[in-house]
A and B are shown apart, each in its own frame.
Chain A
Amino acid sequence: MASEKNITTTGLLGWIDTRFPLTKLYKEHLSEYYAPKNFNFWYFFGSLSMVVLALQIITGIFLTMHYKPDASLNAAGVPVAFASVEYIMREVPFGWLIRYMHSTGASAFFIVVYLHMWRGLIYGSYRTPRELIWIFGCAIFLCLMAEAFFGYLLPWGQMSYWGAQVIVNLFAAVPLIGPDLSVWIRGDFVVGDATLNRFFAFHVIAIPLVLVGLVAAHITALHEVGSNNPDGVEIKKQKNADGIPLDGIPFHPYYSIHDILGIAGFLLIFCAVMFFAPELGGYFLEFNNFIPADPLVTPPHIAPVWYFTPFYSMLRAVTDLFTWVMVASAAVGAIAVLRSRWPLLIKAGGVIALVVLALTFRVFDAKFWGVVIMGGAVVILFFLPWLDYSPVKSIRYRPMWHKVLYMVFLVNFFILGYLGVLPPSPFGQVYSLVGTVFYFAFFALMPIWSRIGDFKPVPERVTFKPH
């Protein structure tokens, strides 16, 4: 086989290249991977997500060398897991630095990933032929949420404990199997040592393995089809005589250097927070989590960490009233099916399915539907490539009111996030209901609204101003 390859390199590199596609990989993914030259600020966050992933894995490895997943109490009456974190903070040389890198890194991960997802949303990076990149990305986001959830139990503080308790209890609302399911997840009737140990296993090996595999798939798919850009123009449609995209530039050195600039900027902000405000006012490290876990004392207000709060708000929005909203949505869906031009049999089947669904909305506990809504808020993202029917990819060429709609979506997500930090309030209850309905309507009605309006003509080539 090797003899069939055309190896042009010599010496050690030639020796390697006949045995391993080193030069080929280097060219395909770096020196001859052509990326559009018009990347903007938003395109930093992909490489930054990789940087934070590496940071979390490396700091995580060092933390596991001293952390002890043990819920029993030490001689001073402090849980061993909690005390081992304080041991890292005090007695391990530079342990405080490693720990703060990891705790600040968790929040930073969500910040860069949220910004990365927002970029994909506004520039249509999920559209053909990039559906799989988007799906892998959504799976990464889901993994990241699981990773953060499992990891948050490990310091074994009050918020760790009761946060896990609240979320695992949600599974008890699943019809029929719920109570058994939640016991199976915890490995006990309450969150305890068994839970801590299995969450540790998930956090340090199971989820990271899946995460790294998905990242590899995400990037492989990206390099297969090439990057989108802020104009949503396919650069591969305009090539020169050598078959190189006219608007493409080699990833290395142009974007490797560019990303180093991005990393420097990111690290400046990251280190400013990590060294001077590692708790960030209780948002990155919750104050109550400095109280050791106590199964007998329920904190008055259990708030998840900020990155979960938009989804937590949606969970809290689902009360008995909300299930009526869901019934109404099913009814609207049924009317739409009736008025459609589908064959009679499909129409009848669709209406019956929707009516049965509407009944289950009322039959099963609202708490169960809260879990479904919270999960559905993430799952619906997977379908985005097949919901958007707009003739253009990028928000730049969409009608003004589309831009406004995307901004409303963003603001709505922020408000839901903010309300999720606060204890329940009458205002919050009403707003989360409206905000949750808006979040789902934005996606569910996208096949309709995304085609409407006056779209601007998309240029043949990308818009680029030399710096």
Chain B
Amino acid sequence: MKNSFKSFLACLSAAILLGGAPAAFAAGGPVALDPVPSQKLSDKTAMQNGAKTFMAYCLGCHGLSAMRYSRLADIGMTEEQIKSVMPPGMKPGDYIRTSLNRNDAKEWFGAAPPDLSVTARSRSSHSGTGTDWIYTFLRTYVEDSSRPTGWNNKTFVGVGMPHILWEAQKTKSPAEFDSMVGDLAAFLNYVSEPAQFKRKTVGVVVLIFLAIFFVLAWRLNKAYWKNIK
């Protein structure tokens, strides 16, 4: 038993080593991503700031159609605060949808702006998380007169979206601007999977239970098998 398991492990590691070789050829990609400051990802104040930034700058074109406004309570916003960021005429139970007409948008930008509900997950790659991508993308706009919007992006070359945060970038210090974008990225990270914090809490409890259960099962098995000679 021991031998077969050991040889299996040996094979597995050999396979991983051999398999690693072609990975070297496949490496290389777009711009290196700046990791979003990790403390922001669990900081409710940062997420709230991000939510406000989103409603002020992004919602004009992008929706978060899988989310209801009322869910902003998850990140610690009071009913009053939620109402203050909602566009007029909306109810807390409404989904966070943009009022932009998709057909108009197609005409203006070449493509309808995507819904951003799960963008922090879909933009993930082996170079970083989707949240890192958002954080990097919003900070790598460059002026480019050859583009219809006058803007291009080093992370997303040929992007249809203009630099919507350009005024903020102009008036704020680089550190303040980075922080603002970081907060927005943290908010979109939360939106991409609202259950992520609960998932980890429940996970710890389940793993502790299973660890105890494993020990009991192990002792029980031992007690039964001691008679087998």
Contact = CB atoms under 8 A, between A and B. Distances in A.
A411 B14 contact: yes
11 contacts: A76-B65, A77-B102, A90-B71, A122-B4, A230-B1, A257-B224, A275-B206, A281-B126, A287-B125, A290-B119, A427-B21
B94 to A, nearest CB: 11
Contact of B67 (A90, A272, A276): A90
Interface in B90-139: 95, 97-98, 102, 112, 114-115, 117-119, 121-126, 130
Interface in A411-462: 411, 414-415, 418-419, 422-423, 425, 427-428, 431
Interface stretch (B45-53, B152-160, B168-176, B195-203): B195-203
Contacts of A275: 199-200, 202-204, 206-207
Interface string B195-227: 100111011101100110110011011101110
Contact of A86 (B12, B66, B126): B66
Interface of B: 1, 4-5, 7-8, 10-12, 14-16, 18-19, 21-23, 25-26, 63, 65-67, 71, 95, 97-98, 102, 112, 114-115, 117-119, 121-126, 130, 192-195, 198-200, 202-204, 206-207, 210-211, 213-214, 217-218, 220-222, 224-226, 228-229
Contact of B194 (A90, A258, A281): A90
Given A414-B16, A415-B15, A427-B21, 7 more contacts: A41-B1, A230-B1, A287-B122, A287-B130, A414-B15, A422-B22, A466-B225
Contacts of B194: 89-90
A87 B66 contact: yes
The winner among A249, A261, A274, A414 for most chain B CB atoms within 10 A is: A261
Given A261-B221, A271-B207, A279-B121, A418 B22 contact: yes
B125 A265 contact: no
Contacts of B204: 275
Interface of A: 37, 40-42, 74-78, 83, 86-87, 89-90, 96-97, 100, 122, 230, 249, 253-254, 257-258, 260-261, 263-265, 267-268, 271-272, 274-276, 278-279, 281-282, 287-292, 395, 403, 407, 410-411, 414-415, 418-419, 422-423, 425, 427-428, 431, 464, 466-467
Nearest to B3: A396
A157 B39 CA distance: 31
B207 A272 contact: yes
Given A40-B4, A75-B97, A427 B22 contact: yes
A16 B213 CA distance: 35
A462 to B, nearest CB: 12
Most buried by B among A87, A287, A431, A467: A287
The interface residues of chain B, by DSSP majority, are classed as helix
A261 B218 contact: yes
A361 B192 CA distance: 49
A127 to B, nearest CB: 18
Contacts of A287: 121-125, 130
Contacts of B97: 75-76
Contacts of A410: 8, 11, 15
Contact of A258 (B19, B118, B203, B221): B221
Contacts of A100: 199
B22 A419 contact: yes
Nearest to B16: A414
A90 B1 contact: no
A292 B114 CA distance: 10
Contacts of B125: 282, 287
Contacts of A290: 118-119, 121-122, 124, 130, 192
A144 to B, nearest CB: 22
Contacts of A276: 200, 203
Given A287-B121, A290-B121, A422 B229 contact: no
A140 B206 CA distance: 31
A188 B25 CA distance: 39
A276 B218 CA distance: 25
A17 B126 CA distance: 60
Contact of A411 (B18, B21, B112, B122): B18
A279 B192 CA distance: 13
Nearest to B102: A77
A282 B18 contact: no
Given A230-B1, A267-B210, A423 B26 contact: yes
A282 B126 contact: yes
Given A78-B65, A78-B115, A86-B118, A425 B18 contact: no
Contact of B199 (A96, A249, A263): A96
A73 to B, nearest CB: 9
Given A76-B95, A264-B217, A253 B22 contact: no
Contacts of B67: 90
A365 B206 CA distance: 53
B112 A77 contact: yes
Contact of B22 (A261, A425, A466): A425
A239 B210 CA distance: 39
A264 B214 contact: yes
A276 B201 CA distance: 10
Interface centre among B16, B63, B200, B214 (most CB of A within 10 A): B214
B210 A264 contact: yes
Contacts of B225: 254, 257-258, 466-467
A295 to B, nearest CB: 14
Nearest to A282: B124
Contacts of B22: 418-419, 422, 425, 427-428, 431
Nearest to B26: A422
Contacts of A37: 228
A403 B195 CA distance: 47
B82 to A, nearest CB: 16
A415 B18 contact: yes
A253 B217 CA distance: 13
Q: In the complex, which of the residues B14, B15, B112 has the most CB atoms of chain A within 10 Å of its own CB atom?
A: B15
A356 to B, nearest CB: 38
A278 B21 CA distance: 27
A44 to B, nearest CB: 11
Question: Max chain B CB contacts within 10 Å: which of A87, A257, A264, A407?
Answer: A264
Contacts of A96: 193, 195, 198-199
